[in-house]
Amino acid sequence: MARRSKHGPDALKGMIVDAAEAILAADGLDGLTARALAERVACSPGTLYNVFANLDEVVLNVEARLLDRLSARIADARPEVRPRDAVLQMAEIYLDFSHEFPRLWSILLEHALPAGQATPDWHRARLAELLGAVEARLVPMFAPGQQAEAALAARVLWAGVHGICSLSVADKLTNVTAQSARVLIRDLVETYLRGIEARRPQLLPGSA
Amino acid sequence: MARRSKHGPDALKGMIVDAAEAILAADGLDGLTARALAERVACSPGTLYNVFANLDEVVLNVEARLLDRLSARIADARPEVRPRDAVLQMAEIYLDFSHEFPRLWSILLEHALPAGQATPDWHRARLAELLGAVEARLVPMFAPGQQAEAALAARVLWAGVHGICSLSVADKLTNVTAQSARVLIRDLVETYLRGIEARRPQLLPGSA
DNA sequence: GTCGCGATTTGAACATCGTTCACTGATCCC
DNA sequence: GGGATCAGTGAACGATGTTCAAATCGCGAC
């Protein structure tokens, strides 16, 4: 064996990440062993380490693809006009996505790098991109010169939606099923935005 | 060796959980190995398995103590009178707690049991207790016969606060430091509650 | 055709992990 | 004093992530 890769090295990388995603979705982090992954890719464990530094890097690549998929889904959505509807739409996409890939989603949230290793930059960048999308749809609700308030609101809303989704996926919200998580999200977005309007009803009354 | 325990078996249990908490706080989940834990307790690895079924059970006991500590802190707080202040107070206790034990807190959120094993009942019960405390302080803001709305609001607020705390501890909220997480929490609670009042300004105007 | 070289893949080996269990020896009861 | 008991032991097992010298293949030169 050891024939030169018929697929280029990038293709091999893709195959490994594919296989890793399948294993993670089926068996969680504990199921992803170097030997199990190698067997699924039909190569030896050593080959994995020619392409990735370690298993953590494989997991990170799965996470990256997952985040990209979410970004694409948000980008593909038919844009709603009213800011409230647009934010609600994003929140529901977020919710649906987390429940569509519950295992992968949990791994994305749970996966902690060993020791001092910080979250990689591309990870933070992808999260910042999502946050920016919320912020962009929120800006019309605020007067010019209140971008700081819009940025704050975006972070609060996004963190809140995230909290509902993660607790819901982990089944930790007592008496809250996947179904009713949607109700929570609607209530959060509508009530929070109503609270914003109630603070400055005179500025942009038409934006409600 | 093998002298009969000078400490009762419960004391040994406590010593193990103590040591495990210290290791987890210092080195995270990866640092908690059976041998390292045994060395810190000054016993052999096998002894651990006379007291606990496996290392997961040790971690669960650390988590249980952590949740109890949070509950106690909330119970000890001088109760605020106005519902808004009471909820805000709880949220800030929650935030401070998560940042006081960031590593243990992350483990509490991240720790996923292997395979089909569900979150143990006592865990869910402790979370439900926290949720109930929020709910109790929220009820005065709603008219009689609107307990369902109060329960919904409690879940939304608690999940939202939780989302801010977890993203903040994990350092995933772009441009949001531990300091400013407090600002996010204040904004969430105040704006959300204002949104509730804006919906029914006629009912309990004095509760603002 | 074949030879050789560089790139690629291999899989045995290593340290360490969680966990088990036959054994040890201190303690209690008689 | 002498079993009986049982908390505590630690060597051993299988599996883990990772490494690296060796094996193997693809391909261009001649």
Dump pLDDT digits (tens) for B154-199: 999 999 999 999 999 888 877 666 568 999 999 999 999 999 998 8
Chain A residues whose beta carbon lies within 8 Å of the beta carbon of residue B29: 112
Decide if pLDDT at B202 tops 70.
no
Query: Does B4 contact strand C, using a CB cutoff of 7 Å?
Result: yes
Task: Read off the pTM.
Answer: 0.89
Dump pLDDT digits (tens) for A9-58: 789 999 999 999 999 999 999 999 999 999 999 999 999 999 999 999 99
Min Cα–Cα distance to chain A from B115, Å? 7
Whether B162 and chain A come into contact, CB under 8 Å, resolves to yes
Q: Which of B33, B188, B190 best probes binding to A when mutated, by most A CB atoms within 10 angstroms?
A: B188
Q: Where are the alpha helices (DSSP H) in B32-177?
A: 34-41, 45-51, 55-76, 83-100, 102-110, 121-138, 147-169
Contact B127 A164 (CB under 8 A): no
Of A66, A145, A55, nearest to A109 (Cα)?
A66
Nearest-angstrom CA–CA distance, A20 and A34: 10
Min Cα–Cα distance to chain B from A39, Å? 21
The confidence score (pLDDT) of residue B2 equals 45
Q: Which residues of A93-129 are buried (b: 16+ CB within 10 A; e: fewer)?
A: ebbebbbebebbbbbbbbbbeeeeeeeeeebeebbbb
Q: Which of A33, A121, A172 best probes binding to B when mutated, by most B CB atoms within 10 angstroms?
A: A172
Dump pLDDT digits (tens) for B21-59: 999 999 999 999 999 999 999 999 999 999 999 999 999
Tally of CB atoms within 10 A around B45? 13
The confidence score (pLDDT) of residue B117 equals 67
The confidence score (pLDDT) of residue A202 equals 52
Q: Which two tokens stand for residue A78?
A: 């038919």
CA angle (B31, B36, B40) in 5-degree steps = 120
Whether B178 and chain A come into contact, CB under 8 Å, resolves to no
Look at the block and give the residue holding tokens 């993670």.
A24
Of A72-81, A155-164, B153-162, give the lowest mean pLDDT range: A72-81
CA distance from start to end of chain A:
66
Average pLDDT, integer, range A129-143: 91
Of A85, A98, A96, nearest to A138 (Cα)?
A85
CA angle (A106, A112, A117) in 5-degree steps = 150
